[in-house]
Amino acid sequence: MPDDAWSPPSVLLTVDLVILTLRDGRLHILLVERGEAPFQGMSALPGGFLNHGGEEILDAAHRELSEETALASSWVHLEELGVYGESGRDPRGRVVSVAHLAIAPGLPDPVAGTDAFDAAWIPANAVLSGEVELAFDHRRIARDGIEHARTKLEFSSLATAFCGTEFTIAELQHVYEAVWGTSLDTRNFYRKVQAAKGFIIPAGTDRRRTGGRPARLYRAGPKTILFPPLIRPTMSATEENTRGEEE
Amino acid sequence: MPDDAWSPPSVLLTVDLVILTLRDGRLHILLVERGEAPFQGMSALPGGFLNHGGEEILDAAHRELSEETALASSWVHLEELGVYGESGRDPRGRVVSVAHLAIAPGLPDPVAGTDAFDAAWIPANAVLSGEVELAFDHRRIARDGIEHARTKLEFSSLATAFCGTEFTIAELQHVYEAVWGTSLDTRNFYRKVQAAKGFIIPAGTDRRRTGGRPARLYRAGPKTILFPPLIRPTMSATEENTRGEEE
DNA sequence: GGAATAGTGTCTTTAAGACACTATCAA
DNA sequence: TTGATAGTGTCTTAAAGACACTATTCC
């Protein structure tokens, strides 16, 4: 299709990161304050341009992740979320962003990235509700990322990525409740996580706290796909999912 | 992060299309023969660079689709599949492709796009098996697209996009069988498509063929999400989905 | 014993899977 | 009546949802 002396338009590529974690039982997302125009002073997702020298997109995401969270990359689940490339989304020109989703276990209070940015964990709800405004189309990216995480929790063992190496079933339940924003029946939850063979495996040891029966500890099992899946209670049947208009 | 006199690297953006249809009961994918280097003469997915002037990515995908299939765009389901941007994937330089999945009802034999390309429907199996070689990383894109379609058939009403406006339940079953590559029990299939309320609605009329009882005709219903879903028989439980190595 | 947390068992309903025959039409 | 295609009904098993009590520890 290219003609003789025709050259295709080029675009700038960024990666943006939806980094989720649990803090005091609630789902939080990592936001940075933009230090420069455009949207200077506004909250935004961590991210940035690809490096020169043919950096891979996924490598760039890992680089941004460790720059923002100072977190050992191997600890963190990272996956592609989608492309955001509408022509009006960045006032600097045609900037196409590849969004990624990262799931981290709870981190120490100060985020303390190696970058100078002011970074903070913000409750996911504050972003979803629009209470916190984000630069660019980052609110939509954040929404998509959170929705993606919710769905992945149903069919994959992703939930364990929110926990440390060892965790109790109650902790795992709190992960599901926090991410889904629902509350679950303890008995059914125990039944289901244990029915999904390969999801969690007993660590042998117990964890004792002040008062109360000690909890058995588990580790993530070898399976990444849950069967049977843990379907979230909402939206199962009654919800709306009607097509727009017929032709 | 950009320094004072720093400018980010730019990339070329393409769209690639995995266009699937059913021909004589088998899943086919549209391939074109490349008219120029690189990979001249080799089969490839339809696609091309974005137009100048800030063309939207999805618009570019629609444009390529109609250039290749001469198909009314409103008939066709089109959605983003993912980004393919490994630095070595295109010898011309850093070319990042946004892959899309398109599902079309059976088309008349000659593809007859408006472009000069030699385009043809190839059985999906020939691509999956490697019997037909594709340029670039297009085999992986095709594999991902087919797998995506298979999964979407389980949870969405996508299957109707392979049919005309009116179709019989037997035809719908053939869609599932062709895309999944399995054979299904007729009775269970009838039960399930009818249990998923809003999936298909009776068109009132019958279709008569030569010999045999006339079949009731249906149209796509208003629901896009299937509940209960139609889970494919394979992979339900017994399959492997083990994590690579711990840590 | 009391407070705190961890863990379990049963019943009902829904949906999946397996399985073979009846219905309607044209020739 | 035969050939061809369309459509259906039952039983068993798997899993979801609802629901309340027992177990273990620390004080």
Find and give the residue nearest to C16, measured CA to C1'. Answer: B188
Q: Give the pLDDT of residue A15.
A: 98
Nearest nucleotide (C1') to the CA of residue A210? D26
Q: Give the pLDDT of residue B245.
A: 43
CA-to-CA separations, A189 to A150, A172, A228, B198, B229, in angstroms, rounded: 16, 9, 12, 31, 22
CA B115 to chain centre: 21
- By percentage, how much of chain A surpasses pLDDT 90? 75
Residue A79 near residue A101, CB atoms below 8 Å? yes
Q: Which residues of A touch B50 (CB under 8 A)?
A: 8-9, 11
C-alpha–C-alpha distance, residues B219 and A98, integer Å: 37
The residues of A whose Cβ lies within 8 A of any Cβ of B are 1-2, 8-14, 36, 48-57, 74, 80, 82-83, 85-87, 94, 96, 98, 115, 198, 220, 222-225, 227, 236-237, 239, 241-243, 247
C-alpha–C-alpha distance, residues A174 and A26, integer Å: 9
Q: Which residues of A touch B52 (CB under 8 A)?
A: 8-9
- By percentage, how much of chain B surpasses pLDDT 90? 75
C-alpha–C-alpha distance, residues B121 and B107, integer Å: 10
Q: Give the pLDDT of residue B35.
A: 87
Instruction: Give backbone dihedrals phi and psi of A183, rounded to 5 degrees, phi first.
Output: -120, 145
**How near does any CA of chain A get to the CA of B79, in Å?**
11
The domain locations on chain A are 12-137, 156-246
pLDDT of residue A152 exceeding 60: yes
Instruction: Give backbone dihedrals phi and psi of B230, rounded to 5 degrees, phi first.
Output: -105, 90
C-alpha–C-alpha distance, residues A37 and B77, integer Å: 38
Q: Which residues of B touch A2 (CB under 8 A)?
A: 36, 49
Find and give the residue nearest to D20, measured CA to C1'. Answer: A187
Which is more confidently placed, B43 or B76?
Answer: B43
CA-to-CA separations, B83 to A73, A140, B14, B158, in angstroms, rounded: 22, 18, 10, 22
Region A12-137: CATH code? 3.90.79.10
Q: At what angle do helices B169-180 and B186-195 cross, to 10 degrees?
A: 110
C-alpha–C-alpha distance, residues B91 and B89, integer Å: 7
Separation of A185 CA and C6 C1' (Å): 14
Using the structure block, give the residue that is written with the tokens 């720059």: A67
The three-state secondary structure class of B154 is helix
Of the pLDDT bands very low, low, confident and very high (cuts 50, 70, 90), residue A109 is: low
Q: Which residues of B touch A241 (CB under 8 A)?
A: 223-225
C-alpha–C-alpha distance, residues A129 and A123, integer Å: 10
C-alpha–C-alpha distance, residues A192 and A190, integer Å: 6
pLDDT of residue A115 exceeding 80: no
C-alpha–C-alpha distance, residues B22 and B44, integer Å: 19
Q: Tell if the CB–CB gap between A85 and B56 is shorter than 8 Å.
A: yes
**What does the pLDDT average to over B34-39?**
90
pLDDT of residue A10 exceeding 90: yes
CA B77 to chain centre: 8
C-alpha–C-alpha distance, residues B152 and B159, integer Å: 8
CA A63 to chain centre: 16
Q: Give the pLDDT of residue B151.
A: 97
CA-to-CA separations, A106 to A19, A24, A30, A103, B239, in angstroms, rounded: 11, 9, 12, 10, 32
Q: Which residues of A touch B82 (CB under 8 A)?
A: 80, 82-83
Strand partners for B181: none
Which residue in the set A57, A83, A224 is minimally distant from B57, CB to CB?
A83
**How near does any CA of chain B get to the CA of A110, in Å?**
21
Q: Tell if the CB–CB gap between A243 and B225 is shorter than 8 Å.
A: no
Q: Tell if the CB–CB gap between A224 and B241 is shorter than 8 Å.
A: yes
Q: Tell if the CB–CB gap between B224 and A243 is shorter than 8 Å.
A: yes
Q: Tell if the CB–CB gap between A96 and B96 is shorter than 8 Å.
A: yes
pLDDT of residue B23 exceeding 80: yes
Which is more confidently placed, A123 or B74?
Answer: A123
Which of B57, B118, B154, B165 to mutate to test binding with chain A, by most A CBs within 10 Å of its CB? B57
Of the pLDDT bands very low, low, confident and very high (cuts 50, 70, 90), residue A209 is: confident
**What does the pLDDT average to over B185-213?**
93
Tokens representing residue B51 in the block? 């137009």
Using the structure block, give the residue that is written with the tokens 């969690």: A200
Tokens representing residue A133 in the block? 């405004």
Determine the residue of chain A that is closest to B96 in CA distance.
A13
Tokens representing residue B206 in the block? 């019958």
Q: Do domains B12-137 and B156-246 have the same CATH topology?
A: no
> What is B156-246's CATH topology?
Arc Repressor Mutant, subunit A (1.10.10)
Q: Is A175 left (phi over 0), alpha (psi -120 to 50) or beta?
A: alpha
Separation of A192 CA and C6 C1' (Å): 16
Q: Which residues of A touch B53 (CB under 8 A)?
A: 9
C-alpha–C-alpha distance, residues B126 and B128, integer Å: 6
B69-B159-B144 Cα angle (round to 5): 70
**How near does any CA of chain A get to the CA of B88, in Å?**
9
C-alpha–C-alpha distance, residues B224 and B172, integer Å: 15
Exposure letters A64-75 (e unless 16+ CB within 10 A, then b): bbebbbebeeee
Determine the residue of chain B that is closest to A57 in CA distance.
B85
Tokens representing residue B75 in the block? 């008939």
pLDDT of residue A120 exceeding 50: yes
Of the pLDDT bands very low, low, confident and very high (cuts 50, 70, 90), residue A236 is: very low
**Using the 8-state DSSP alphabet, how is residue B214 labeled?**
P
Which is more confidently placed, A74 or B209?
Answer: B209
Tokens representing residue A113 in the block? 């990235």
Which residue in the set B2, B10, B237 is minimally distant from A227, CB to CB?
B237
Using the structure block, give the residue that is written with the tokens 């990666």: A15
Of the pLDDT bands very low, low, confident and very high (cuts 50, 70, 90), residue B170 is: very high
Which of A15, A50, A81, A201 to mutate to test binding with chain B, by most B CBs within 10 Å of its CB? A50
Q: Tell if the CB–CB gap between A242 and B224 is shorter than 8 Å.
A: yes
**How near does any CA of chain A get to the CA of B48, in Å?**
8
**What does the pLDDT average to over A150-160?**
97
Digit-coded pLDDT (tens) for B67-121:
888 776 667 889 999 999 999 999 999 999 999 999 999 776 655 555 556 889 9
CA B137 to chain centre: 17
C-alpha–C-alpha distance, residues A212 and B247, integer Å: 32
pLDDT of residue A75 exceeding 80: no
pLDDT of residue A114 exceeding 70: no
Strand partners for A33: A43, A118
C-alpha–C-alpha distance, residues B166 and B192, integer Å: 19
Q: Give the pLDDT of residue B110.
A: 57
Using the structure block, give the residue that is written with the tokens 């062709």: B178
